[in-house]
Structures are given as structure tokens and as C-alpha cells.
Amino acid sequence: MAVTLIRATLLYAAIIFLIRLMGKRQIGELQPSELVVTILLSEIASIPMQDNNIPIIHSVVALFVLVSYEILTSAIGLKSHKLRTVLQGHPVIVIRKGEIDMKALKKLRMTVNDLISALRQKDVFDVSQVSYAIFETNGQISVLLKPEYRNSTVSDLNLHPEDSGMPFAVICDGRMIDDTIVESGFDADKIKKLVISSKIPVDEIIIMTVTSDGKAFIARKGDSE
């Protein structure tokens, strides 16, 4: 039992390390080659956990080889458009200037119902409102609505609001996040002064964000209860 636990722990740590090594895109949006590697990683890792007679080093080596291939092809793909096309394919326009491209749908082996379902997942329930729809290489659909159906922006209204910058979470669950504090452009002393002025102890703050212009937002634990 102890041996199985140790082997599972080692493989778990190896998989986490390798997924992190492959990059954040691997976690969010899988390309075909990345999906294959992810499936193979899980299959290879499961074998030694089921059979303690198989040396764990064999699986670890295989895992590292697979990830090395993925990293190598990704690096080459950055410089080679042809290789990227072979590994990932290319986006396909299925609605062009408001017209559904049936040839493109047949190429993707999709029906109109499949297209409408994908549009609904983008909160588009009326296909007549769509100007362009594109199936990306990761299987997601991108939608451009016709001008009369797009949300108005501040530029459309000729407004010029001030840009206060991106809020940085400098305190989470009662702990100061040093890396984020540095990215925010402030230092720990400045954050502490803001906390003191709020009269809320750090350990009672569930989230605190600051913007580049010094605006702070603090949510106290239990405020939403």
C-alpha cells in the first residue's frame, strides 16, 4: 500500500511539473497535438499506478520524452507556418458576410444545428445577427455580429473616460502577495498604509486590489455572508 502511494505521489508530481513546463495555453485551450500529448500523459502515468511490478522510471522517462517532443515542435512551429498548419490546422470561416458557408460546414463535418448550438454558447441565439463566424484551430468559435447588433462602446458615444489601469490583487485570503505588489508599482509599505487607513486587519481581508492611480478596493471576510 505504501509503495502504491509513493508511486502515485511521484507520478502526480511529475505530471504537474510537465504540464507547467508545457505552458499555460496547454491548460486553457488545447490544440490537436497538445490534446494527443495530454491523453498519452494520462495513459502512461496510469500504467505504473496499476502495476507495481513496472519500474516507475520507465514511465517517467516516457513522460519526459513526450513533453520534450511537444516543446520542440512548438518551438519549431513558432518559426514554421507550414508545420503549424500541419499540427494545428487553420481557422475556417463558416459564416461570411451573414451567409452560412455550407461547403465549410461539410469540410468540418458539421451540421447547421451544430453551428447554431455553438453560436448559442456565445450567447447568440439569432443567426441572422451574425456577420462572421470562424471556427478556430482549438475548436472554439469566434463571432462578429453585424454592426447594428454590436454593443456600443465609449468611443461610439464619443466619451473619453480615464484609464485607471488594471486592478492588482495585492492581498488574498489575509496574505500579502509580494509578486503582485511589485507588478502593481507599489511597495509593501504603501499597501500597509492603505490597509491601516481602511482600519481592517490584514488577516480579515479576503481580497484587496489596487490600480496604478492608487484606487483600492477591499473586501472583508464575511461581507458577502
In this structure, the answer to whether residues 64 and 35 fall within a common structural domain is yes
Query: Which amino acid belongs to residue 159?
Result: L
CATH label of the domain that carries residue 177: 3.30.240.20
In this structure, the answer to whether residues 73 and 116 fall within a common structural domain is no
In this structure, the answer to whether residues 68 and 105 fall within a common structural domain is no
pLDDT of residue 31: 64
Q: Is residue 158 part of a domain?
A: no
Q: Is residue 111 part of a domain?
A: yes
* Among 40, 60, 85, residue at a domain's last position: 85
pLDDT of residue 225: 46
pLDDT of residue 219: 92
The domain of 70 spans 2-85
CA–CA dist 48, 56 (Å, integer): 6
* Among 100, 119, 149, residue at a domain's last position: 149
In this structure, the answer to whether residues 27 and 51 fall within a common structural domain is yes
CB 170 within 8 A of CB 208: yes
In this structure, the answer to whether residues 97 and 81 fall within a common structural domain is no
Strands annotated E in the chain: 92-96, 99-100, 130-135, 141-145, 168-172, 175-176, 205-210, 216-220
Q: Is residue 163 part of a domain?
A: no
pLDDT of residue 223: 53
- Count other Cβ atoms within 10 Å, centred on residue 94: 25
* Among 65, 85, 105, residue at a domain's last position: 85
Q: Could you give the dihedral angle defined by the CA atoms of residues 25, 26, 29 and 35, in that order, rounded to the nearest 10 degrees?
A: 150
pTM of the model: 0.59
Q: Is residue 225 part of a domain?
A: no
In this structure, the answer to whether residues 100 and 81 fall within a common structural domain is no
Per-residue pLDDT tens listing for the chain (225 residues): 576 677 777 776 777 777 666 654 444 456 666 777 777 777 887 877 777 777 878 788 888 887 887 788 778 877 877 777 776 778 899 999 999 999 999 988 889 999 999 999 999 999 999 999 999 877 789 999 999 898 877 777 777 777 777 899 999 988 999 888 988 888 889 899 999 999 999 989 999 999 988 889 999 887 544
pLDDT of residue 46: 80
In this structure, the answer to whether residues 66 and 109 fall within a common structural domain is no
CB 174 within 8 A of CB 203: yes
Could you give the number of structural domains in the chain? Answer: 3
